[in-house]
Amino acid sequence: MTSLEEDELVQMVQDFIESESTSPTSSTSLNCHTLNHRTQYFILQDILRSEGDTASEAKVLQCVLKHMRARKGAEKKTSLSRWLVMRMKMDGFNASICHTSWSTSLGCPAGEYEYIEVMEEDEKKARLIVDIDFRSQFEIARPTQHYKELTDSVPVIFVGVETKLCKITSLLCSAAKHCLREKGLHVPPWRTASYMQAKWLSVSRKEPRHAERENYVIGDGDGIIGNWVPPLLKAKKRDLGAGSGLSSQLSNMSVNCC
């Protein structure tokens, strides 16, 4: 065997060894990646099912779904939220519109948001967050199959306590970061967990009660009667040149003074 043939044989053996050593590694990496995806999915399902006071959440959610199905036509989220709060109050829930706003901090730009808050009247005094457009807050362009599976399992209408909300946002924001990096995209600051949680957990300002009725008038078809305002009475126009009947009689009278 010549030296050239020996070199070729050695190279073939080395190539075979390298292929055998790298193949299990890549396969193991792929299996770990898939396992991590499935783990995230099952953790999310467990949070949605068991976290928080499920009995109270189910009661509020049933009320919200009942009125949302009865509502006709698509509307802006703001006006729809106000209408929904009015209906929930009619059903006996202590509901209100909450506005949140936060300043720019390290890695978190400023922003503002609006959602519905329901305070339980029982001894627990639990605070439930209601968001009628929850799923869309986590949607991104060109998602991976795994991330789309996660967002599809998130409810469109969210009803739950703060701890439940924090766990969901933390898990989904972590998954979104990996999804964007797999696509070679930059992770924007408004996709971080701190920014997303600020929407619902920042210092909130409740909307005054009278503001919830300002968009509704009598006869709007919703069965809601707004505050009655007396009609304005227009002043009658008077002919300044003619004068009144009494003034004309007085002008025609002559008074003789001694």
DSSP string, the chain: --HHHHHHHHHHHHHHHHHHHHHHHHHHHHHHHHHHHHHHHHHHHHHHHHSS-HHHHHHHHHHHHHHHHH--S---HHHHHHHHHHHHHHTT-EEEEEEEEE--BTTB--EEEEEEEEE--STT--EEEEETT-GGGG--SS--HHHHHHHHHS-SSEEE-HHHHHHHHHHHHHHHHHHHHHTT----GGGSHHHHHHHHHS-EEEPPGGGGGTT--TTSSSS------PPPPPPPP--TTT--HHHHHHHH------
Q: What is the mean pLDDT of residues 21-43?
A: 65
* pLDDT at residue number 232: 54
pTM of the complete model = 0.67
Read off the pLDDT of residues 90-107 as tens digits, 9 standing for 90 and up.
999 999 999 999 988 877
Does position 12 have pLDDT exceeding 70, yes or no? no
* Higher-pLDDT residue of 59, 108: 59
* Higher-pLDDT residue of 38, 30: 38
Q: What's the burial of 215, exposed, middle or buried (CB within 10 Å: 0-12/13-18/19+)? A: middle
Taking all residues of the chain, what is their mean pLDDT, rounded to a whole number? 76
* pLDDT at residue number 214: 45
**Confidence band, pLDDT 50/70/90 cuts, at residue 219:** very low
Helix 162-182 to helix 193-201 angle, to the nearest 10 degrees? Answer: 150
Residue 225's Cβ-side half-sphere holds a number of Cα atoms within 13 Å equal to: 2
Across 148-162, 176-190, 237-251, the highest mean pLDDT is recorded for 148-162
**Confidence band, pLDDT 50/70/90 cuts, at residue 86:** very high
Does position 117 have pLDDT exceeding 70, yes or no? yes
Do the beta carbons of residue 215 and residue 225 sit within 8 Å? no
Do the beta carbons of residue 61 and residue 159 sit within 8 Å? yes
Does position 210 have pLDDT exceeding 80, yes or no? no
